[in-house]
Amino acid sequence: MAALRDVAKKAGVSASTVSRVINRPDTVPTTTKSRVLKAIKNLNYHPNKFAQRLRSHNVDRKLVGLLVPDIQNPFYVDVVKGVEDYCFERGYAVLMGNFMQDEKKGQMYLEVMQSEEIDGLIVAPIQEHHKTISQFKEKKIPIICIDRGLKNIDVDVVLVENEEGAYQAVDHLVKQGHIRIAYVGGIPSIPTTLEREKGYSQALLDNGLNVDDELIKYGDSTHLSGKELTEELLQLKDRPTALFTGNNLITLGALETIHKHKLHIPGDIAIIGFDDMPWSISLNPPLSAVSQPGYDIGKRATELLFQRISDPKRSPVKVVLKTKLILRESG
């Protein structure tokens, strides 16, 4: 509760001097400085952020916004951790929003973040053009996109070789002798879903197989949708012998359905999922997966963000991280 003026009074100086001690210590002689410093400590004085911010808009908020599509998805948890660790090292806090692929919710968070005047935003955008996100750009608030970029706006982005990753997984599957391989995708409107589908199709084509639309399913990137889509696939008269699943949660859902049908993996049906998980090895059977470096993605994004904060006019970069196909026993 102690204010600047209290410190000033206690130290027998003016408010200006106290402010100088805090913000430009080298402009005030040591003797005065020490007196002020003592008073500050004595009164346990902390500058009021709101007053500071009101007066000079360019003081850092030490706050970065992070907007993720689904915190239940272990992949994003890794991203969050990467962001958080990096921020922590630099004394920044994270204002997190989990928008559940929900336009409204994302919107609300963006508004809050705007009015909180965050120093920068890291976001996995649900659409490639987004009005509110563009507002950030206009307001000169740095944005970093992960997982997918933004149309019409030039932003830094860190993403992963989705097509390549999918290709490798599916290619492996056909090399194992599978002919009917299904793709259980996520939300069809998001780029990652499409890119992975592209890799999937290309791998089939390159191996002389044709792509069968019946075997390509889209959902909403959740556990439940993984379950349901897999169910549909298993009902097919000519059912697939292998599944390539579009993300973590879908994979888990698929697994559940497969187990419900008492099918043997990979004997009856093989499965490779996009996204590895720390416990993939403890699944039944240990899951083969395309691993994305979630933690690194978060870390790189934050790195980029801080670079942009300190130099707003550098030209936007695109960081593409590699995926890794991890073969265990499911496919």
Which residues in this chain contact DNA in the complex, by CB under 7 A? Answer: 1, 3-5, 12-20, 22-23, 27-29, 32, 45-48, 51-52, 54-56, 58-59
The label of the residue with tokens 């043997």 reads 264
Q: Which one, 55 or 237, has the nearer CB to DNA?
A: 55
Selected from 131, 278, 311, 313, the binder of its own copies by CB under 8 A is: 278
Q: Using an 8 Å Cβ cutoff, are 186 and 219 in contact?
A: yes
Q: Name the E strands within 31-135.
A: 63-68, 93-98, 120-123
Angle between helices 191-206 and 162-175 (to 10 degrees): 40
Instruction: Look up tokens 């003016």; give the residue.
Output: 14
- Do residues 297 and 146 lie in contact, with contact meaning Cβ atoms separated by under 8 Å? yes
Query: Is the Cβ–Cβ distance between 77 and 275 less than 8 Å?
Result: no
Helix (H, G, I), strand (E, B) or coil at 257: helix
CA–CA separation, 194 vs 210, rounded Å? 18
Strands across the sheet containing 288-291: 216-217, 181-184, 242-245, 270-274, 288-291, 324-326
Query: Which among 22-30, 72-80, 147-155, 313-321 is the span making contact with its own copies, rule CB under 8 A?
Result: 72-80
Q: How many CB atoms lie within 10 A of CB 236?
A: 13
Candidates 140-148, 252-260, 296-304, 305-313; binding stretch for its own copies (CB under 8 A): 252-260
Q: Which is nearer to its own copies, 41 or 62 (CB)?
A: 62
Q: Which amino acid is at 305?
A: L
Tell me which of 9, 35, 53, 137 binds its own copies, using CB under 8 A.
Answer: 53
Does residue 256 belong to the site contacting its own copies (CB under 8 A)?
A: yes
Query: Which residue is listed with tokens 């030039």?
Result: 154
User: 76 vs 167, which CB is nearer to its own copies?
Assistant: 76
Question: Which residue is it, tokens 């709101």?
Answer: 50
Pairing assessment for the beta strands 324-326 and 288-291 based on DSSP bridges: antiparallel
Closest listed residue to residue 12, CA positions, set 1, 182, 2, 34? 34
* Cα separation, 107 vs 46, whole angstroms: 33
Of its own copies, DNA, none, which one does residue 12 interact with (CB within 5 to 8 Å by kind)?
A: DNA
The residue (of 103 and 116) whose beta carbon lies closer to its own copies is: 116
Residue 80, H or E segment:
helix 74-89
Q: How far is the CB of 285 from its own copies (least distance, A)?
A: 7
Binding mask 141-180 for its own copies (x = CB under 8 A): ----------------------------------------
Q: How far is the CB of 6 from DNA (least distance, A)?
A: 8
Residue 71 makes contact with its own copies by CB under 8 A: yes
The residues in 177-196 that bind its own copies, with binding defined as CB under 8 A, are none
Name which of 32 and 101 has its Cβ closer to DNA.
32
Q: State yes or no: residue 97 binds its own copies (CB under 8 A).
A: yes
Residue 56 interacts, among DNA, its own copies, none and using kind-specific CB cut-offs from 5 to 8 Å, with: DNA
Work out whether 263 is an interface residue with its own copies (CB under 8 A). no
**Of all helices (H) and strands (E), which one includes residue 291?**
strand 288-291
CA atoms of 233 and 229, how far apart (whole Å): 6
Name which position in 259, 261, 314, 318 contacts its own copies (CB under 8 A): 259
CB of 7 to DNA, least distance (A): 8
Residues that bind its own copies (CB under 8 A): 46, 48-51, 53-54, 62-63, 71-72, 74, 77, 80-81, 84, 88, 91, 93-98, 105, 108-109, 112-117, 223, 252, 255-256, 259, 278-279, 281-286
